[in-house]
Amino acid sequence: MSARDDILAAIRTGLTHGRDGALPRQTPAQIAAEAAALLADPDEIRPALSGPDPVAAFIAKCANPALGVTLERLAGWEALPQAVAAYLTRHDLGPRIAVSGDARLDRLAQLPLETHRDTAPDEAAAISVALWGIAETGSVVIHSAPDQPILNAMLPRHWLVVLDETRILPFLDDYAAPAAPAPRNAVLITGSSGTTDIEGYFVRGAHGPGFVHVLLISR
Protein backbone atom coordinates (compact mmCIF):
# COMPACT_ATOMS: atom_id res chain seq x y z
CA MET A 1 0.00 0.00 0.00
CA SER A 2 1.15 3.53 -0.68
CA ALA A 3 1.75 5.96 2.17
CA ARG A 4 -1.38 7.75 1.06
CA ASP A 5 -3.49 4.60 1.33
CA ASP A 6 -1.98 3.71 4.68
CA ILE A 7 -2.64 7.14 6.15
CA LEU A 8 -6.21 7.33 4.89
CA ALA A 9 -6.88 3.79 6.16
CA ALA A 10 -5.42 4.64 9.57
CA ILE A 11 -7.62 7.71 9.79
CA ARG A 12 -10.72 5.67 9.00
CA THR A 13 -9.76 3.03 11.53
CA GLY A 14 -9.24 5.68 14.19
CA LEU A 15 -12.52 7.35 13.43
CA THR A 16 -14.60 4.22 13.36
CA HIS A 17 -12.98 2.00 15.98
CA GLY A 18 -11.72 4.60 18.40
CA ARG A 19 -11.77 4.25 22.17
CA ASP A 20 -13.99 7.31 22.32
CA GLY A 21 -16.55 5.43 20.29
CA ALA A 22 -17.14 5.29 16.59
CA LEU A 23 -18.02 8.50 14.84
CA PRO A 24 -20.88 8.30 12.40
CA ARG A 25 -19.40 8.94 8.96
CA GLN A 26 -21.09 11.77 7.14
CA THR A 27 -21.87 12.34 3.49
CA PRO A 28 -20.06 15.17 1.69
CA ALA A 29 -23.25 17.22 1.83
CA GLN A 30 -23.52 16.74 5.58
CA ILE A 31 -19.88 17.68 6.03
CA ALA A 32 -20.36 20.83 3.97
CA ALA A 33 -23.44 21.78 5.98
CA GLU A 34 -21.60 21.28 9.24
CA ALA A 35 -18.64 23.31 8.00
CA ALA A 36 -20.96 26.14 6.96
CA ALA A 37 -22.71 26.06 10.33
CA LEU A 38 -19.35 26.61 12.00
CA LEU A 39 -19.23 30.01 10.32
CA ALA A 40 -22.67 31.12 11.54
CA ASP A 41 -23.04 34.30 13.61
CA PRO A 42 -19.63 35.71 12.67
CA ASP A 43 -20.08 38.74 14.92
CA GLU A 44 -19.92 36.45 17.94
CA ILE A 45 -16.37 35.46 17.18
CA ARG A 46 -14.78 38.58 15.75
CA PRO A 47 -13.94 41.96 17.21
CA ALA A 48 -15.99 45.06 16.49
CA LEU A 49 -14.49 47.42 13.91
CA SER A 50 -12.43 50.24 15.35
CA GLY A 51 -14.37 52.92 13.45
CA PRO A 52 -17.89 53.75 12.26
CA ASP A 53 -17.20 52.47 8.73
CA PRO A 54 -14.56 50.23 7.16
CA VAL A 55 -12.46 53.14 5.86
CA ALA A 56 -12.42 54.90 9.24
CA ALA A 57 -11.67 51.58 10.96
CA PHE A 58 -8.80 50.87 8.57
CA ILE A 59 -7.31 54.31 9.21
CA ALA A 60 -7.68 53.86 12.98
CA LYS A 61 -5.87 50.50 12.83
CA CYS A 62 -3.00 51.97 10.85
CA ALA A 63 -2.61 54.63 13.54
CA ASN A 64 -1.66 51.90 16.04
CA PRO A 65 2.05 52.46 16.63
CA ALA A 66 2.63 48.72 17.07
CA LEU A 67 1.98 48.24 13.34
CA GLY A 68 4.83 50.49 12.26
CA VAL A 69 2.78 51.98 9.42
CA THR A 70 2.27 55.52 8.22
CA LEU A 71 -0.80 56.47 6.23
CA GLU A 72 -1.54 59.35 3.95
CA ARG A 73 -4.89 60.11 2.30
CA LEU A 74 -4.84 61.29 -1.29
CA ALA A 75 -7.72 63.02 -3.04
CA GLY A 76 -7.25 60.86 -6.14
CA TRP A 77 -4.74 58.94 -8.27
CA GLU A 78 -3.55 62.29 -9.75
CA ALA A 79 -2.14 63.24 -6.36
CA LEU A 80 0.04 60.11 -6.25
CA PRO A 81 3.23 61.34 -8.00
CA GLN A 82 3.62 64.35 -5.73
CA ALA A 83 3.01 62.25 -2.62
CA VAL A 84 5.63 59.68 -3.67
CA ALA A 85 8.19 62.36 -4.46
CA ALA A 86 7.53 64.03 -1.13
CA TYR A 87 7.92 60.74 0.74
CA LEU A 88 11.27 59.98 -0.91
CA THR A 89 12.51 63.48 -0.11
CA ARG A 90 11.22 63.35 3.45
CA HIS A 91 13.11 60.13 4.09
CA ASP A 92 16.15 61.19 2.14
CA LEU A 93 15.91 58.15 -0.14
CA GLY A 94 17.15 59.69 -3.38
CA PRO A 95 15.21 59.98 -6.64
CA ARG A 96 14.89 56.27 -7.29
CA ILE A 97 12.08 53.77 -6.76
CA ALA A 98 11.17 50.25 -7.86
CA VAL A 99 7.68 50.12 -9.38
CA SER A 100 5.59 46.95 -9.52
CA GLY A 101 4.33 47.20 -13.07
CA ASP A 102 0.74 48.12 -12.31
CA ALA A 103 -0.38 50.45 -15.15
CA ARG A 104 -1.81 52.91 -12.66
CA LEU A 105 1.71 53.57 -11.47
CA ASP A 106 2.81 54.65 -14.97
CA ARG A 107 1.98 58.21 -13.95
CA LEU A 108 5.07 58.17 -11.70
CA ALA A 109 7.07 58.55 -14.93
CA GLN A 110 6.11 62.23 -14.95
CA LEU A 111 8.33 62.77 -11.90
CA PRO A 112 12.03 63.52 -12.14
CA LEU A 113 12.66 60.04 -10.74
CA GLU A 114 14.41 56.95 -11.90
CA THR A 115 11.80 54.20 -11.91
CA HIS A 116 12.56 50.54 -12.61
CA ARG A 117 10.89 47.14 -12.51
CA ASP A 118 13.25 44.63 -10.94
CA THR A 119 13.55 45.27 -7.24
CA ALA A 120 17.15 44.92 -6.09
CA PRO A 121 17.95 42.94 -2.94
CA ASP A 122 19.01 46.16 -1.22
CA GLU A 123 16.40 48.43 -2.75
CA ALA A 124 15.73 51.57 -0.72
CA ALA A 125 12.14 52.09 -1.82
CA ALA A 126 9.52 50.29 -3.86
CA ILE A 127 5.86 50.87 -4.62
CA SER A 128 2.98 48.45 -5.24
CA VAL A 129 -0.78 48.69 -5.53
CA ALA A 130 -2.76 46.64 -3.03
CA LEU A 131 -5.66 44.59 -4.28
CA TRP A 132 -7.60 44.80 -1.04
CA GLY A 133 -7.51 46.37 2.39
CA ILE A 134 -8.96 44.80 5.54
CA ALA A 135 -10.44 47.15 8.12
CA GLU A 136 -10.48 44.67 11.01
CA THR A 137 -6.71 44.45 11.15
CA GLY A 138 -5.38 47.32 9.03
CA SER A 139 -3.98 44.83 6.51
CA VAL A 140 -3.33 45.29 2.82
CA VAL A 141 -3.53 42.32 0.45
CA ILE A 142 -1.43 41.62 -2.62
CA HIS A 143 -1.85 38.73 -5.07
CA SER A 144 1.06 37.53 -7.16
CA ALA A 145 0.45 38.40 -10.82
CA PRO A 146 2.34 39.59 -13.91
CA ASP A 147 2.13 43.16 -12.59
CA GLN A 148 2.47 42.21 -8.93
CA PRO A 149 5.92 40.88 -8.04
CA ILE A 150 5.83 39.65 -4.42
CA LEU A 151 9.46 40.58 -3.89
CA ASN A 152 8.61 44.21 -4.59
CA ALA A 153 6.80 44.22 -1.28
CA MET A 154 9.45 42.24 0.58
CA LEU A 155 12.89 43.45 -0.44
CA PRO A 156 12.88 47.25 0.01
CA ARG A 157 13.66 49.11 3.20
CA HIS A 158 10.67 51.39 2.50
CA TRP A 159 7.55 49.92 0.93
CA LEU A 160 4.92 52.30 -0.39
CA VAL A 161 1.55 50.74 -1.09
CA VAL A 162 -1.36 52.39 -2.82
CA LEU A 163 -4.82 51.35 -1.71
CA ASP A 164 -8.08 52.53 -3.21
CA GLU A 165 -10.46 53.01 -0.31
CA THR A 166 -13.29 51.37 -2.26
CA ARG A 167 -11.25 48.16 -1.92
CA ILE A 168 -11.40 48.09 1.87
CA LEU A 169 -13.25 45.03 3.18
CA PRO A 170 -14.65 45.13 6.71
CA PHE A 171 -13.48 41.80 8.18
CA LEU A 172 -10.90 39.08 7.59
CA ASP A 173 -13.70 36.70 6.64
CA ASP A 174 -14.87 39.11 3.95
CA TYR A 175 -11.58 38.40 2.21
CA ALA A 176 -12.41 34.69 1.90
CA ALA A 177 -14.49 35.16 -1.26
CA PRO A 178 -11.91 37.34 -3.06
CA ALA A 179 -9.29 34.77 -2.01
CA ALA A 180 -11.07 32.02 -3.94
CA PRO A 181 -9.23 32.44 -7.26
CA ALA A 182 -6.18 31.43 -5.21
CA PRO A 183 -3.21 33.10 -6.88
CA ARG A 184 0.18 31.48 -6.39
CA ASN A 185 0.77 33.74 -3.45
CA ALA A 186 -1.71 35.92 -1.59
CA VAL A 187 -0.15 37.96 1.18
CA LEU A 188 -1.95 39.86 3.89
CA ILE A 189 0.54 42.46 5.04
CA THR A 190 -0.10 44.19 8.33
CA GLY A 191 2.46 46.80 9.17
CA SER A 192 6.18 46.60 8.75
CA SER A 193 8.29 43.49 9.15
CA GLY A 194 9.35 42.88 12.70
CA THR A 195 10.76 40.36 15.12
CA THR A 196 10.64 39.75 18.85
CA ASP A 197 13.15 36.93 18.71
CA ILE A 198 15.76 38.62 20.89
CA GLU A 199 14.34 38.68 24.41
CA GLY A 200 10.92 39.71 23.18
CA TYR A 201 12.10 43.17 22.09
CA PHE A 202 10.24 44.37 19.02
CA VAL A 203 12.64 45.35 16.24
CA ARG A 204 11.40 46.61 12.90
CA GLY A 205 12.68 45.57 9.51
CA ALA A 206 13.69 42.00 10.29
CA HIS A 207 13.68 40.72 6.71
CA GLY A 208 10.94 42.67 5.02
CA PRO A 209 10.47 46.44 4.96
CA GLY A 210 11.12 48.42 8.11
CA PHE A 211 8.82 51.17 6.85
CA VAL A 212 5.41 50.75 5.27
CA HIS A 213 3.60 53.79 3.93
CA VAL A 214 -0.03 53.43 2.86
CA LEU A 215 -1.26 55.89 0.24
CA LEU A 216 -5.02 55.73 0.58
CA ILE A 217 -6.88 56.99 -2.46
CA SER A 218 -10.17 58.62 -1.55
CA ARG A 219 -13.30 57.96 -3.53
Partner 1 sequence: MADAAFKQRAHDALADTNLKTAIDRTTGTAETKRAIAVEAFPEFQAARSRAAAIKDHVIANLDHYLIEFERNATASGAQVHWARDAAEAAAIVTKICTDADAKIVTRAKSMLGEEIGLPHALEEAGIERVETDLAEHIIQLAQERPSHIIWPAMHRTREDVATLFFKDHHPPPEADDPAAMVASARRVLRAKFMAADVGISGANFLVADTGATCTVTNEGNAELSTTPPRIHIVTAGIEKIVPSTDHAMALLRVLVRSATGGEITQYTTFHCGPKRPGDADGPEEMHIVLVDNGRTRMIGDEFRQMLRCIRCGACMNHCVVYRQIGGHAYGGTYPGPMGAVLTPVLDGLAQSRDLPHACTMNGRCEEVCPVRIPLKTLLKAWRVRTWDEGLVEKPLRYGLGLWGFAARRPWLYHLGARMALPVMRLFGRGWIRRLPLAGGWTDSRDLPAPAARSFMDQYRRQQKDARK
* Sites for partner 1 among residues 24-43 (CB under 8 A): 26, 28, 31, 34-35, 38-39, 43
Minimal distance in Å, beta carbon 56 to partner 1?
Answer: 17
Residue 152's closest CA among 111, 201, 102? Answer: 102
Contacts of 148 (CB under 8 A, 6+ apart): 100, 101, 102, 128, 129, 131, 142
State which of residues 79, 85, 93, 172 lies at the interface with partner 1 (CB under 8 A).
172
Note whether 133 binds partner 1 by CB under 8 A: no
Nearer to partner 1, 35 or 75 (CB): 35
Q: What is the DSSP-derived secondary structure letter of residue 148? A: B
73: how many CB neighbours lie within 10 A of its CB? 14
First to last CA, the chain: 60
- The size of the interface with partner 1 (CB under 8 A), counted in residues, is 82
Choosing from 82, 89, 110, 195, the residue that interacts with partner 1 (CB under 8 A) is 195
Tell which positions 7-26 bind partner 1, by CB under 8 A.
7-8, 10-15, 17-20, 23, 26
Q: What length does the chain have? A: 219
Residue 208 Cβ vs partner 1, minimum distance, rounded to whole Å: 3
In terms of phi and psi (left: phi > 0; alpha: psi -120 to 50; beta: otherwise), the region of 191 is left
Shortest distance in whole angstroms from residue 175 CB to partner 1? 7
One of 52, 92, 112, 199 touching partner 1 (CB under 8 A):
199
Structure letter (DSSP) for residue 77 = G
Dihedral sign for Cα 13, 14, 16, 19, please.
positive
Q: Is residue 170 a contact residue for partner 1 (CB under 8 A)? A: no
Using the minimum distance from each CB to partner 1, give the nearer residue, 11 or 109: 11
Distances in Å between the Cα of 98 and the Cα atoms of 73, 83, 108, 161, 205 are 21, 15, 11, 12, 18
CB atoms within 10 A of CB 50: 17
72-91 footprint of partner 1 as x/- string (CB under 8 A):
--------------------
> Of residues 46-65, which lie at the interface with partner 1 (CB under 8 A)?
46-47
Given the complex with partner 1, which of 14 and 76 has the nearer CB atom? Answer: 14
Binding-site member from 192, 213, 216, 217 for partner 1 (CB under 8 A):
192
